[in-house]
Structure 1
Amino acid sequence: MSARILLSAIAIGLTVASEPSGTLLALEPLAQRIGHTDPGKYRRSRSHDSAGDMACETLLPGNALSTNFFFMHRCQVMPGGGVGHHFHNQCEEMFIIFDGEAEFTVDGRTSALKGTIGAPVRMGHSHAIYNPADKPVEFMNINVTAVKGKYDAFNLGDPRVGVAKDPVPVFMTMRLDRNLLRPIPGYRGGQGTARYRRALSPEVFLTNWSYVDHLLLPEGASEGRHRHTGVEEIYYVLNGDGEVSVERETARIHKGDAVPVLLNQTHSFRNNESRDLELMIVGIAAEKGALDTVEVK
Structure 2
Amino acid sequence: MPVTVSRAERPSLDETVLSALSPDLVPGVSVEVVDRAESTNAVVAERARAGAPEGLVVVTEHQTAGRGRLDRSWETPARSALTFSVLLRPTAPTRSWPWLPLLAGYAVDKALKAAGFDAGVKWPNDVLIGDRKVAGILVERIETEQGPCAVVGIGINVGLTAEELPVPTATSLAIEAGEAGAPDRTALLVGVLASLRESYDTWQAGGDLAGMRLAASYADACVTVGREVRVELPGGSVLTGLATSIDPSGHLVVEGPDGRVAVGAGDVVHVRAAI
- Same topology, TM > 0.5: no
Q: TM-score, normalised by structure 1?
A: 0.26
Structure 1 or 2: more strand by fraction: 1
